[in-house]
Structure 1
C-alpha cells in the first residue's frame, strides 16, 4: 500500500467554518449523538465526490479475486460472477480472467459501479455473498496508482498488486 503521507489532503471542515458548535446530546439509543438537521441532503447521495469520475468509466471498480489453481475457488468465483450478472444487470460486469492481468496478481473479474445508489446496494451484498474471495474496491480518478493503493479498500485478504505499470 502506498504511504498515505505522500499525499496532501483538503481539510475535512472546509466550508463548515464559523458554524455553531455541535450538540453533545445523546440520541434514544443512549450512545450516539443527535445531529442537527441539514438544510439539504448531501450531494454524495446522488453523485460521487470529486475527483471520482461520474462518467462512462464508472466511479468505482470492484475486482473480485480467486486462485485459478484452486478448482473449488474457481467454481465459486464463476458462480458468483453469474449471480451478480443476474441480480445486478445494470452494472458493467467483465468476463472472468483465468490468469493475472494488469496489476492484479491472480485471476479475477471486475464490476463497475456508476452511482452512489449502486455502490450502496452492491457493496453490502458483496460483503455477505463473496464467500472466501478477496475483493479490491477502488475509485476511478486521474491517479491510477493512488486509486489502487492509498484510496483502495479491501474485503478479505489484501493481495499485493503489481503497481509498476502505473509508473
Structure 2
C-alpha cells in the first residue's frame, strides 16, 4: 500500500559545509533563507552531530512551504550539499529512504541513533524564527 501524504508532518533541510570557506557560503545562504521564507533556522553545528557526516545547520519547515522553498534551494544552494527529508515520525526511514539530496550524497552515520519510529507521538512544533522581507 502506498504511504499517504498526510503522514508528512513537516520537513527538514540540512545545509552542510566542510571548511571555513563553505561555512561563509552557508552563512550567506542562511541569511537569504531568513529573508525569504517562514522557517525555523536551527543552531550551527560546527562539529559532527547525530547521523550527519559534516558540520551543518538545519532548516525546519511546514509542508506548505516545500513547493516554494525546495525549488528555490535547488537553484540557490551555491554548491553546498543539502539533505531534504520529510518528518513522517520515522527518523531512520526519513533520513535513509525518503531523502532528497541536492549536490553530493553524504553517508548517514550512526544509524542506530535514529529511532526506528516515533509514530503516535506528538509532532515537534515548527516554530518559525524568521521574518521574511523579500519574495522568493
Return the TM-score normalized by structure 1.
0.63
Larger Cα-atom Rg:
1
Instruction: Give the structure with the larger helix fraction.
Output: 2
Instruction: Give the structure with the larger strand fraction.
Output: 2
Q: State yes or no: 1:83 paired with 2:20.
A: no
Q: Where does the alignment leave 5 or more consecutive residues of structure 1 unmatched?
A: 1-9, 13-47, 54-58
Q: Point out 4+ residue stretches in structure 1 off by more than 2 angstroms.
A: none
Number of residue pairs aligned between Structure 1 and Structure 2: 114
Root-mean-square deviation (CA, aligned residues, Å) is 1.7
Task: Give the match for residue 133 of structure 1.
Answer: 80
Q: Where does the alignment leave 5 or more consecutive residues of structure 2 unmatched?
A: 116-136
Return the TM-score normalized by structure 2.
0.77
Native 8 Å contact 2:52 2:108 kept in 1: yes
Native 8 Å contact 1:61 1:111 kept in 2: yes
Query: Residues 51-110 of structure 1, C-alpha deviation per residue, up to 9 Å, x if partnerless?
Result: 112xxxxx111111110xx2211110111111211222x211112211111111111111
Which structure would you say has the larger RCO, counting Cα contacts within 8 Å and 6 or more residues apart?
A: 2
